[in-house]
Every structure is written in structure tokens, then in C-alpha cells.
């Protein structure tokens, strides 16, 4: 749908709206005593024209599937966003002035506490990659006509993640995506690399297959024509808008040292901008088309594995997800170009229309999933556990967004064998545990893995599933259940003298150790703590009360993983057992999987030694 070019009268009205957005951004920051008004003022005209003439959004029905999506990738321009919400009548002026106060929804950087905000931003370089995910959802999953508008800063174009987004969107020809770049030439501490050289940005972005338009970002006519042109393009469009930071107020306009501060004299600034206005914008309504019906889900037959056989948990994950995709049409899968190894490829072969190849770009991989879950899709993201560290800031922000993601990291720990430390996830339990409201699951066998793969589909927040490369024995029957937050007691007797807590690859080692200890007359309880977070504190407390001594063993550095989770569980207990931890002690090199476990000090022999040492104290 082409939008007619605005006439002079409408242009004047939009310019006035831009001034109102500036004034209100200044007022909000002034009331707060902090914030980023100058970064808001540069983009005010861009947003005035968008809000007043191109955005299609029903502020009274945020769940309308036809609504456009607007993401402030430069989240620090939140005063501008909130001023837009005020102009649209979504928030009252009183609330605008609660900006940055304790208890206010109007946080320093936008979060989905506000119903019109899809995702939290404020860590730069994330809004555009998330917008790519929304645009993919709109075109390929929802198949709706909504558009995704992303307001970007020029500084954040230095982030590699932006170029992952340009590459993905350009190659996928996402014509429903528009990046609006506010080229105000000033970063936080001084000038950007390219200043007002919008051609430098346009050259780079065009090389990635985008349509680019360079404009004066304070000329509402040019802005309007650019949006119209963007909507008519068969490719994603980047609008490079030359703007002036602090535009309209001489004391701060295009001045260094004015970043992230209220204006020195807000009253004077408001006068300079022509005073307060009371413009109320009638935002265009979205198209009436509804989301395609998602068929009812059939009941899942979780793949079953024969007890006593040997199956890699990565394989069970792949097969379970493929089955899940067959009964739930809202499940989607995203790969970081390793689907042959992670076994995400099984989903791809059965459900290619819901499989997204993100290539080796882990930030875009996670961001695309964040974007898709905004629209209610149920994404599973998978790559090697080690490489998820590449996307940690995106996972951190996804947690702040309250996003529901299922993240599956394969090739965990030293047990991968010969490939060496660069490919070994040895920090993943720690960094996923430290995410707000995360679950961390580390199954030891195929049936457990299949159950947990299905269980996380309906969990909100970030659910991490850690899988193992090599085949491991199937310990549980297919009918067993594995609640998140639970554990399994695999060996138990009244005479247990210590408890061994293991997860994943170390469970079979712990069982072998328990057998050897039993042969020497030492009874050991063995707990499979497949749910590392939340951990099954009750079972651990009982075991500690019974045995008084706890030995943890994990294929991970000793910091932040299973051992720390077990110790933490005892901070809630009425008494502390003696605890000893086994984890990877030295930097691994290349070796066979079993040699690796031995060198790391986490194989059955190490568990036996650790148990004896703990008992001798």
C-alpha cells in the first residue's frame, strides 16, 4: 500500500508534532533528573512522521495481529518513545512525568512492562536483529502484512550484530523491514567514526542487499517520501537520516558533552521550541486481517528409547523436537549452521517451513527467536553450547524482555573428545544459571532428554537444555516423568554414607563409582540432578540429612555450575552437609572422550577417590 505524499498543511502539522515530542522528551527527562533528551530530539521528526502518517497500530488492542511493530534499537531514546505514547493517547501526561521513578513503567530504557513495547532494548545493536526475527515471523510464519520499523542509532552500527542483521534481512529480502538510522554524528563520548557521512553507511548497507535512502532527518517531507519509498521497495530499506543531536535547542544542539543528561534549562528550551503543545495523534489502524489459524495441537507421542541401549542425548533432542513439531504448528527451530551436529536437522527435514537457517551468526540466531516469540511462536534455538557464549548479551536482554526461548546447547563439556577446548561448553551452566528466571536442564539419557525437550515448550522464560555429543546408556524407561525442578534418586539405601550428585555425562560415571564403592562396602546415594536450576532442594536436603556428606561431579569448570547450584540449595536447609566438588580442573587439550573425563578428574575413578577423601575427613 503506497501512502500519498503529505501536503504542506500536513507537513506543518507533522513538524509541530515533532516539536511536541521534543518538548515532552525534555519535560520527562527534566522531571526525572536524568535520561537522554538530546538523543530523543535528533529523532523526533523521524518519529513524528512515522507516528502521524505511516505506523499502523491499535494502541487499544496491542494483541491485534495486524499491528505494525516499532522497536527502539537505540533504547536510550526512551523519552521520545514515551512522548509518542503520550501523543497517541496511550499514556497520560502525568504518567509521562513519572519517567525513571521507582515503580514507573517508564523505565530508563524501554521494557515490555509497557504493553506497546515488544522487547527490552538499551544494549545497543539488538533491536535490528530482533526486528529481523519479527519480519521473518510476519512474512514466513504469520503471513500478515504488518511492518517492522526499527529506530537505530548511528553509534550502534559499529556493533557486529547489526551486520548479522543486515546480512540476514538482505539475503532473505525482508521487504517488511525498515531500519531508520538517526545519524546525529555524536556518540556518548564524542563523534562517531563516520560523522554525518551517510553515504559511508549507505554504501555498506547497500552492499548487503538493502535498499538505502539518504535524507535530511529534520525535513518532514523528505522523511515522509522516504517511508513511502521504503514501503514500495521489494527489499528491506535503510533510511539514513542526517540529524542533529539536541536539535532545536541551541544550548545543546550538535554539542559534545550533552549526552545522557537533562537539558541545562528545560523551561528555556521549551520556550525555544515554541512551548508545550497538546497534539493528539490518530494513529492509522492496522489492516483488519487476522493471523492465520494455528491448528489445534495433537497429543504428542514422545520418542521412546530402549533401556540399556546407547543413544546420544543430542539425538534424542533432535528426534523429540521433530515429533513435537509434528503435533504443534507453533514450534519453530533456528540453527546456527550446525544442525547436522546438534540434530536440529531432524526438525528441518520434517518441518522445513518452520526451520530457519541463521548461519554462523549466534547473535542473530538468538535475536531472531526473540522476535518470533513476540508473535507467540515457540522457538527452539540450537548450536554448540560453547558458541552460545557468543550470544550472551542477547540472552541477558531476552531475560529482561521476559522472552520465552528454548535454547539447546550441544557438545557440552570435555566429553566431546578430540576437538579440544574451543568447542567445549565449560561455562554454559554458569552463564545460563545467572540469567533472570532461567531454567537449566542437563539430561543424562535419551528418554529424559525427549521428555524435557517437550516440557520446555510451554515454559515461560529462558529454558536451557544441555546435550551431550557421544552415546550414553539409556537409564530410564520411556514412561518415566521428569518435572522441571525435579531429580532422580538412582541409588539409595538406609546405610548410605554419602551422596553423589551428578548430571548429564557424569551420571553413568557416578553410577559406576557407586558400584565400585559398594563392592568395598561403602553405600553411596546417587542423585541425577537433571534440573540444575531450579534444583531439587528437597531431595538434596533429605540426602544430606541421611548421609551428611555430598560429592558433586560435573563436566564444567568448578565455578557456577552444578556444584554451586547444589551448595546454594543448602543455604535453604537447616543444616549444612560437608560438600566436595569435582569439576574440570585443568585446561583440556585433545584426547578421546573417556581420556578427557579421566584427565579432568570427573570419571568414575575420580568419583571413587573423591568419595573416599570426603569420607576420610
Please pick, from the candidates 93, 306, 418, 609, the single residue that binds a copy of itself as defined by CB under 8 A.
Answer: 418
Please pick, from the candidates 12, 518, 590, 612, the single residue that binds a copy of itself as defined by CB under 8 A.
Answer: 590
Residue ranges in 256-295 that form contacts with a copy of itself under rule CB under 8 A: none
Q: What cell does 58 get?
A: 491499535
**Cα(261)–Cα(264) distance, integer angstroms:** 8
Segment interacting with a copy of itself, rule: CB under 8 A, options 200-208, 223-231, 285-293, 450-458 = 200-208
Q: Which of 532, 547, 372 minimizes the C-alpha distance to 465?
A: 532
Nearer to a copy of itself, 475 or 551 (CB): 551
Residues 6+ apart with CB under 8 A from 560: 427, 429, 430, 431, 433, 434
Please pick, from the candidates 79, 138, 221, 345, the single residue that binds a copy of itself as defined by CB under 8 A.
Answer: 345
394 and 366 in contact (C-beta within 8 Å)?
A: yes
| 533-567: b (≥16 Cβ within 10 Å) or e | bebbbebbbbbbebbbbbbbbbbbbbebbbbbbbb
Could you tell me whether strands 237-242 and 211-216 are parallel, antiparallel, or unpaired per DSSP bridges?
parallel
Nearer to a copy of itself, 491 or 581 (CB): 581
**Cα(424)–Cα(411) distance, integer angstroms:** 6
Residues paired with residue 551 on neighbouring β-strands, in sequence order: 500, 580
Q: What cell does 179 get?
A: 531500519
Q: Which of 429, 439, 466 minimizes the C-alpha distance to 556?
A: 429
Please pick, from the candidates 343, 406, 411, 581, the single residue that binds a copy of itself as defined by CB under 8 A.
Answer: 581
- Smallest gap from Cβ 363 to a copy of itself, in A, equals 6
Nearer to a copy of itself, 302 or 407 (CB): 407
Residue ranges in 473-502 that form contacts with a copy of itself under rule CB under 8 A: none
Please pick, from the candidates 32, 128, 334, 374, the single residue that binds a copy of itself as defined by CB under 8 A.
Answer: 32
Segment interacting with a copy of itself, rule: CB under 8 A, options 87-95, 283-291, 312-320, 353-361 = 353-361
- Smallest gap from Cβ 101 to a copy of itself, in A, equals 7
Give every strand in the sheet of 237-242, ordered side by side: 69-72, 148-153, 177-183, 237-242, 211-216
- Smallest gap from Cβ 358 to a copy of itself, in A, equals 8
Segment interacting with a copy of itself, rule: CB under 8 A, options 144-152, 321-329, 475-483, 568-576 = 568-576
Q: Tell me if 113 contacts a copy of itself by CB under 8 A.
A: yes
**Cα(551)–Cα(510) distance, integer angstroms:** 10
Q: Tell me, what DSSP letter sits at residue 412? A: B
Residue ranges in 546-565 that form contacts with a copy of itself under rule CB under 8 A: 557-561, 563-565
Distance of CA 390 to the CA centre of its chain: 12
Q: Tell me if 122 contacts a copy of itself by CB under 8 A.
A: yes
Q: What cell does 607 get?
A: 568419583
Segment interacting with a copy of itself, rule: CB under 8 A, options 1-9, 118-126, 273-281, 446-454 = 118-126
- Smallest gap from Cβ 289 to a copy of itself, in A, equals 31
Q: Tell me if 37 contacts a copy of itself by CB under 8 A.
A: no
Residue 534, preceding peptide bond in cis (omega within 30° of 0): yes
**Cα(475)–Cα(307) distance, integer angstroms:** 6
Segment interacting with a copy of itself, rule: CB under 8 A, options 61-69, 222-230, 358-366, 463-471 = 358-366
**Cα(129)–Cα(161) distance, integer angstroms:** 7
CB-count burial class (<10 Å; 0-12, 13-18, 19+) for 568: middle
Residues paired with residue 319 on neighbouring β-strands, in sequence order: none
- Smallest gap from Cβ 372 to a copy of itself, in A, equals 19
Q: Tell me if 338 contacts a copy of itself by CB under 8 A.
A: yes
Segment interacting with a copy of itself, rule: CB under 8 A, options 131-139, 279-287, 411-419, 500-508 = 411-419
324 and 454 in contact (C-beta within 8 Å)?
A: yes
**Cα(606)–Cα(581) distance, integer angstroms:** 11
Nearer to a copy of itself, 144 or 426 (CB): 426
String of contacts with a copy of itself for each residue 83-102, x by CB under 8 A: ----------------xxxx
Active site residue 362: yes
Q: Tell me if 577 contacts a copy of itself by CB under 8 A.
A: yes
Please pick, from the candidates 18, 37, 79, 125, the single residue that binds a copy of itself as defined by CB under 8 A.
Answer: 125
Q: Which of 401, 317, 392, 405 minimizes the C-alpha distance to 362?
A: 392
Please pick, from the candidates 306, 592, 609, 612, the single residue that binds a copy of itself as defined by CB under 8 A.
Answer: 592
Q: What cell does 152 get?
A: 537505530
- Smallest gap from Cβ 475 to a copy of itself, in A, equals 27
**Cα(431)–Cα(344) distance, integer angstroms:** 23
Nearer to a copy of itself, 307 or 598 (CB): 598
Place of cell 525498515: 178
Segment interacting with a copy of itself, rule: CB under 8 A, options 38-46, 181-189, 272-280, 505-513 = 181-189
Residue ranges in 138-167 that form contacts with a copy of itself under rule CB under 8 A: 155-156, 158-164, 167
Residues paired with residue 301 on neighbouring β-strands, in sequence order: none
Nearer to a copy of itself, 55 or 97 (CB): 97
Q: Tell me if 120 contacts a copy of itself by CB under 8 A.
A: yes
Q: Which of 124, 19, 20 minimizes the C-alpha distance to 76?
A: 124
Residue ranges in 424-453 that form contacts with a copy of itself under rule CB under 8 A: 426-427, 430-431, 433-437
Please pick, from the candidates 10, 56, 173, 204, the single residue that binds a copy of itself as defined by CB under 8 A.
Answer: 204
372 and 379 in contact (C-beta within 8 Å)?
A: yes
Nearer to a copy of itself, 433 or 488 (CB): 433
Choice among 156, 362, 427, 554 that is catalytic = 362
Q: Tell me if 182 contacts a copy of itself by CB under 8 A.
A: no
- Smallest gap from Cβ 174 to a copy of itself, in A, equals 14
**Catalytic residue positions?**
362
Amino acid at each position: 500500500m503506497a501512502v500519498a505524499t503529505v501536503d504542506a498543511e500536513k507537513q506543518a502539522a507533522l513538524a509541530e508534532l515533532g516539536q511536541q515530542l521534543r518538548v515532552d522528551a525534555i519535560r520527562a527527562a527534566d522531571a526525572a533528573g536524568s535520561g537522554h533528551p538530546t538523543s530523543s530530539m535528533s529523532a523526533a521528526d523521524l518519529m513524528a512522521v512515522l507516528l502521524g502518517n505511516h505506523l499502523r497500530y491499535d494502541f487499544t488492542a496491542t494483541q491485534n495481529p495486524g499491528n505494525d511493530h516499532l522497536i527502539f534499537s537505540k533504547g536510550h531514546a526512551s523519552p521520545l518513545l514515551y512522548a509518542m505514547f503520550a501523543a497517541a493517547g496511550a499514556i497520560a501526561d502525568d504518567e509521562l512525568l513519572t519517567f525513571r521513578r521507582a515503580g514507573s513503567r517508564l523505565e530508563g530504557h524501554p521494557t515490555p512492562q509497557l504493553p506497546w513495547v515488544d522487547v527490552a532494548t538499551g544494549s545497543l545493536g539488538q533491536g535490528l536483529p530482533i526486528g529481523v526475527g519479527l519480519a521473518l515471523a510476519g512474512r514466513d510464519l504469520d503471513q500478515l502484512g504488518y511492518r517492522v520499523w526499527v529506530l537505530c542509532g548511528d553509534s550502534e552500527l559499529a556493533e557486529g550484530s547489526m551486520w548479522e542483521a543486515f546480512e540476514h534481512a538482505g539475503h532473505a529480502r525482508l521487504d517488511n523491514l525498515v531500519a531508520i538510522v538517526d545519524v546525529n554524528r555524536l556518540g556518548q563520548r564524542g563523534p562517531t567514526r563516520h560523522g554525518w557521512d551517510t553515504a559511508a553507511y549507505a554504501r555498506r548497507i547497500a552492499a548487503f542487499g538493502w535498499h538505502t535512502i539518504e535524507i535530511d532527518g529534520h525535513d518532514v517531507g523528505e522523511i515522509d517520501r522516504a517511508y513511502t519509498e521504503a514501503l514500495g521497495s521489494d527489499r528491506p530499506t535503510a533510511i539514513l537520516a542526517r540529524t542533529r543531536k539536541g536539535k532545536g535547542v541551541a544550548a545543546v544542539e550538535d554539542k559534545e558533552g550533552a549526552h545522557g543528561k537533562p537539558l541545562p534549562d528545560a523551561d528555556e528550551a521549551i520556550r525555544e521550541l515554541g512551548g508545550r503543545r497538546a497534539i493528539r495523534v490518530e494513529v492509522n489502524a492496522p489492516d483488519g486481517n487476522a493471523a492465520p489459524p494455528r491448528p489445534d495441537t495433537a497429543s504428542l507421542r514422545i520418542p521412546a528409547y530402549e533401556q540399556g541401549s546407547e543413544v546420544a542425548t543430542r539425538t534424542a533432542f533432535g528426534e523429540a523436537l521433530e515429533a513435537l513439531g509434528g503435533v504443534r504448528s507453533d514450534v519453530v527451530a533456528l540453527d546456527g549452521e550446525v544442525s547436522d551436529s546438534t540434530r536440529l536437522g531432524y526438525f528441518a527435514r520434517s518441518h522445513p517451513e518452520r526451520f530457519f537457517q541463521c548461519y554462523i551468526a549466534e547473535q542473530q540466531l538468538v535475536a531472531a527467536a526473540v522476535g518470533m516469540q513476540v508473535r507467540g511462536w515457540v522457538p527452539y534455538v540450537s548450536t554448540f553450547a560453547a558458541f552460545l557464549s557468543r550470544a550472551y548479551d542477547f540472552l541477558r536482554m531476552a531475560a529482561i524482555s521476559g522472552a520465552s526461548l528454548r535454547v539447546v546447547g550441544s557438545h557440552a563439556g570435555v566429553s566431546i573428545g578430540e576437538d579440544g577446548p574451543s568447542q567445549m561448553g565449560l561455562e554454559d551452566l554458569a552463564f545460563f544459571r545467572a540469567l533472570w528466571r532461567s531454567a537449566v536442564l542437563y539430561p543424562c539419557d535419551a528418554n529424559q532428554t525427549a521428555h524435557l525437550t517437550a516440557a520446555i515448550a510451554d515454559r515461560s522464560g529462558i529454558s536451557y537444555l544441555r546435550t551431550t555429543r557421544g552415546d550414553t546408556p539409556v537409564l530410564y524407561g520411556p514412561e518415566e516423568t521428569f518435572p522441571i525442578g525435579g531429580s532422580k534418586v538412582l541409588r539409595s539405601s538406609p546405610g548410605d554414607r554419602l551422596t553423589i550428585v551428578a548430571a548429564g555425562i557424569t551420571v553413568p560415571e557416578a553410577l559406576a563409582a557407586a558400584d565400585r564403592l559398594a563392592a568395598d562396602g561403602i553405600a553411596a546415594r546417587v542423585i541425577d540432578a537433571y534440573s540444575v536450576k531450579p534444583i531439587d532442594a528437597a531431595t538434596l536436603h533429605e540426602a544430606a540429612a541421611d548421609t551428611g556428606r555430598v560429592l558433586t561431579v560435573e563436566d564444567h569448570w568448578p565455578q557456577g555450575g552444578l556444584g554451586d547450584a547444589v551448595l546454594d540449595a543448602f543455604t535453604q536447609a537447616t543444616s549444612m552437609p560437608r560438600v566436595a566438588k569435582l569439576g574440570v580442573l585443568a585446561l583440556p587439550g585433545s584426547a578421546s572422550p573417556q581420556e578427557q573425563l579421566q584427565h579432568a578428574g570427573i570419571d568414575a575413578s575420580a568419583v571413587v577417590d573423591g568419595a573416599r577423601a570426603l569420607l576420610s575427613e
